A and B are shown apart, each in its own frame.
Chain A
Amino acid sequence: GENVEQHPSTLSVQEGDSAVIKCTYSDSASNYFPWYKQELGKGPQLIIDIRSNVGEKKDQRIAVTLNKTAKHFSLHITETQPEDSAVYFCAARSGRDDKIIFGKGTRLHILP
């Protein structure tokens, strides 16, 4: 069935450095790839998304890249700040249905 793999499960970076989270998906019909940030006790918050007709998208310190051939997509956070500490989820939605399949998450720690 559809599957989304996410790595790493935990990531610690020094404040000001960059963080990269990588995901792969199995369903070739996937055409929408959102990224969510989840803070303790809260629901996932959409931070950026990319559609299959685009290779890269940037929003201030956050960027996402998509390689449809390899079925890879990645989240890049530059100039990390303490408030970036959270769990980040990648996800993929198939063009066949409306189900969003999530990765298992990456716990990002920003070290002072």
Chain B
Amino acid sequence: DAGVTQSPTHLIKTRGQQVTLRCSPKSGHDTVSWYQQALGQGPQFIFQYYEEEERQRGNFPDRFSGHQFPNYSSELNVNALLLGDSALYLCASSPTGLDTEAFFGQGTRLTVV
């Protein structure tokens, strides 16, 4: 089992550009959540996808959007990048249910210059 995989591992973008990050969940998991982790901080919840729909959303602007595909993989899109969007973006997957473990990928390090 490959666990949760994310791509790319590192990315450098210019302010104002758009970026797409990708996540493949752990085998058997159908729920994907995205988190933003600024340097020296804990992960902050962005949103969660289940059955190809956004189920929960944290306090992030509409510039952050996502998608889930029928195979449960997911994308995170960020438009009009700001310098403050520089962070480690983490994907976590879990099986259906509110009482289940969440497993994280290694993250995508996004640097906005």
Contacts and interface: CB of A to CB of B under 8 A. Distances in A.
Do these two chains really belong together in a complex? yes
A102 B37 CA distance: 10
A76 to B, nearest CB: 20
Contacts of A32: 98-99
Interface stretch (B66-74, B76-84, B101-109): B101-109
B105 to A, nearest CB: 5
Interface stretch (A14-22, A41-49, A63-71, A77-85): A41-49
B24 interface: no
A42 B41 CA distance: 14
B43 A98 contact: no
Chain B, interface size: which category?
A: 20 to 34
B10 to A, nearest CB: 10
B31 A105 contact: no
Nearest to A6: B42
A100 interface: yes
Contact of B56 (A42, A51, A98): A98
A58 interface: no
A57 interface: no
B104 A43 contact: yes
Contacts of B4: 43
Contacts of B87: none
A34 B43 contact: no
Contacts of B44: 102
B90 interface: yes
B102 A46 contact: yes
Interface in B26-45: 31, 33, 40-45
B86 interface: no
Interface of A: 4, 6, 31-32, 34, 36, 41-46, 49, 51, 89, 91, 93, 95, 97-105
Interface of B: 4, 6, 31, 33, 40-45, 48, 55-56, 58, 90, 92, 94, 98-99, 101-107
12 contacts: A34-B102, A44-B104, A45-B104, A46-B104, A89-B42, A91-B42, A98-B33, A98-B55, A99-B33, A100-B102, A104-B41, A105-B42
